[in-house]
Structure 1
């Protein structure tokens, strides 16, 4: 049989590369009501460093494949890392999902003497209003993660304000305070419009993050722990999620790893004070 000429071979090679490229990227998370490996709510925020699309919880990304959070500098009025030099980190949790898993995670945090910041979705608090007091009574901090967890960066300014304000009003009703922090939904960083709308709703600062172990993809507890501890530094703000069984299972090892490095897990308000 005559060997293919160079042009035919080149076309075949490009076709193979194109097929590989189409399936290689890690997908971000989506907003919705799907379930993960533990029957938890769908992931709360997309990984901004990867293309959007569905993620199979049965095939979590390995640490080698993990894409880091966006390296974009925070917008004016937004923070993602504290420069105090103190040996502290903030473990922040997007508040949604099975309240029993949330309760279990809070118990693990309190057993490890950690104080968390929970950025709650308003509709979640509407469905489980008892969780607002549970968070605060455990010594943790409660903030705003929009009312309906829409892709807020795609909204008009007035619609974005409505999302922020509705959650703020719910927090005020349940706890007597709208909380100190706002975190936008389905995006790591705010733009100038979102910072402005957050300020209109009473939030001086938008809280982003600089460490993301991708726990919403439901990797194993060991993978969550390894990813987080490999990236965390003094002053870090870590993004994690309530409602995921493997996150609950990972927390004791995460806290032990932080403690071994002399790092205390404190609320975001403590971290930036």
Structure 2
């Protein structure tokens, strides 16, 4: 029996060595498959070690609903040239959205924060300094959220309760900290990629024809991206032509009695 185990171990070592030697070829092949859309990056739901399951806490990527409602959101972390154009277009269609603002943006453009609030849009929290939140302690996460919260409270009297982590970067520590201070962690399932500056037509097509688009979807845009304001009119009409009603995230999400499924969808218990 010892000889059998010895043989198995030797074979395993050879197999590992071969895989290491071929890692460049394997990585290249995988990259091609990802680029071709044959493979897609899965969301990690749990990690199993030694028979124990460590649950991966998920923020809200989208919402389970029978209503044809979706939410449009804008991250505001840099630039402000197009904010008024975006607000004017939203007013033209009487559409309410959610703006996730960093503390630096709030400090730089306080009057625009007030305009956004006065227009009836959600004010969302995007952290104070746009850091990678998964690298911070729980206390540091709370501080990053609390500072913009206090700034907006002073400016508008509004207590924000929606938080989007910068870069979409999170871990269990952040998700738990967010809920502890009475916030909902918000991601997205439709990415406009507007920050890549591919053009207004690309933004519209990417959003309106996105494979994930459906009831309860949350769309990510940026108020400071080069072509977003140009794309917004056609984006709104394209989504409405598909039968969707655009609502702010505060109206879309479930406030209690929910659970998160394996794909980050907020579901009714």
Q: TM-score, normalised by structure 2?
A: 0.72
C-alpha distance in structure 2 between counterparts of 1:70 and 1:137, whole Å: 39
* Residue pairs, 1:136-215, within 5 angstroms: 136-187=117-168, 190-203=170-183, 205-215=184-194
Shift in Å, 1:209: 0.9
C-alpha distance in structure 2 between counterparts of 1:136 and 1:69, whole Å: 36
Aligned CA RMSD, in angstroms, stands at 2.9
For residues 51-71 of structure 1, the C-alpha deviation after alignment (integer angstroms, 9 at most, x for no partner) is xxxxxxxxxxxxx88x97864
Structure 2 residue runs of 5 or longer lacking an equivalent are 1-20, 46-54, 255-269
Shift in Å, 1:21: 4.4
Cα 1:117–1:68 change in 2 (3 A) is farther
C-alpha distance in structure 2 between counterparts of 1:182 and 1:109, whole Å: 22
C-alpha distance in structure 1 between counterparts of 2:199 and 2:214, whole Å: 22
- 8 Å CA contact 1:153–1:187 kept in 2: the answer is no
C-alpha distance in structure 1 between counterparts of 2:41 and 2:91, whole Å: 27
Shift in Å, 1:175: 1.5
- Aligned to 1:100, what secondary structure does the other structure show? coil
C-alpha distance in structure 1 between counterparts of 2:73 and 2:42, whole Å: 17
For residues 129-175 of structure 1, the C-alpha deviation after alignment (integer angstroms, 9 at most, x for no partner) is 11211111112110101001011111122211211111111121111
Paired residues in the alignment total: 218
- Aligned to 2:71, what secondary structure does the other structure show? strand
More strand, by proportion: 2
- Aligned to 2:209, what secondary structure does the other structure show? helix
C-alpha distance in structure 1 between counterparts of 2:125 and 2:151, whole Å: 9
Structure 1 residue runs of 5 or longer lacking an equivalent are 1-13, 26-48, 51-63
